[in-house]
Structure 1
Amino acid sequence: MDKTPPNTDFAVKIAAAADLSDLAVFLSDVFSKHEPPAVAAGFPVRKIEALATVFGAKSIQEKLSVVARAGDTGKIIGVALAHDFGTPPSSDIEPLIPIFEPLLAFLEGLEEKYLATKTIEAGNLLHVFMIGVDESWSGNGIAQKLLHTCIANSASHDYKTAFTEATSERSRHVFRSIGFQEQHFAAYEDFVFQGSRPFASIQGHKGCALMDMKISS
């Protein structure tokens, strides 16, 4: 990716089927380089792309994800992948579960108490699953614009609550800046999976925060 964008003009829109391939490739690149658990566990780029494709297809069908594209080139420079937590992904997710099992176990432990207080049904709970911005475009408010658009769109579909697992200090700051509040926190160094600590090598990020925001009553 270019270090300096030619300009700061970009457009944000609800993701459509034509965006799926670009969306998945973009998120796999960002997450493999910058997302703390993905880097620590060494998740393969192509497997992250496959995961983003499964959830991206689901979210696009639900009309819940948002993309930002550069005004001059049309390239994707940001994605907020959100989906309906009350409906399962397709069976295409099954071959990927063993690869991401350490992260899934970590997130499930973080989510357990929170989800026990929620009504898990279609159309109620929005899960902001992945968010990424091209690092050369940082400082232009793209992440905030993506999330504002994503939340406003989900409100128009009558979702009641949005939640996310913020895995880095930066993502916690971004989510907090638009109104998300921290409900639960899990430290990376404390997590044990099958006798090992897969995220103990993470530096500069203490852990993952489960954060939520009321969308509508």
Structure 2
Amino acid sequence: MSDTPRIAPPRRGPYANTARRKAEIVAAAASVFMRSGYRGGSLREIARDLELSFTSVKHHFPTKEHLLIAVLEEYDSLETEQLNRDIALLGVVDAAIALAVRNLDKPETERLLAVMSAEASSSDHPAHEWFVRRYENIRNSMAAGIRTASEAEAIPFVADADFVASAFVALWDGLQLQWLIDPRFDMIDRLRRGFEAILREGSR
């Protein structure tokens, strides 16, 4: 797949205004959810931050649930696509490291996902199923990359790729959280060393 950016045709008239307004609302909602959490934030708070009417926000996003999913999709979809491309090009370990390095430049985005994933651990949270699917997709992508690398003998043979993938994700989330709390924490070095240790364990 080509890495050439996909450039959408320019929007004109009311469509451009609608798209721009939606993007502004999503960005404001991300700030509010990061600051107050999903349950603590509100559409009225988002409207106040943008100096918009409550009705205007509701016009674009009828419920807070609609807006939450829009926020999550905006901040995660491109990252997941990039991870899948990098796994095919670089292998699973280098792909994960490359994504972690890119994440160093956007701590607020990663903090938002950390806050939302913790809240969504409750089964009645509106983003619960979204996060279930997100983690399934990430584990499946990493497991597929591990199997491919194992079969190509690029890494030691791994008998249980699903276990190794879940251990990778657990390590990644844990180290990233420590970095979000203390930016002096060297996440990248520990991430690579941890991945290598998990692969050694998985190859026994």
**Larger helix percent:** 2
- Relative contact order (alpha carbons < 8 A, sep ≥ 6): 1 or 2 greater? 1
User: Taking structure 1 as the reference length, what is the TM-score of the superposition?
Assistant: 0.28
Structure 1 or 2, whichever has the larger Rg, is: 2
> What is the TM-score with the length of structure 2 in the denominator?
0.29
Higher strand share: 1
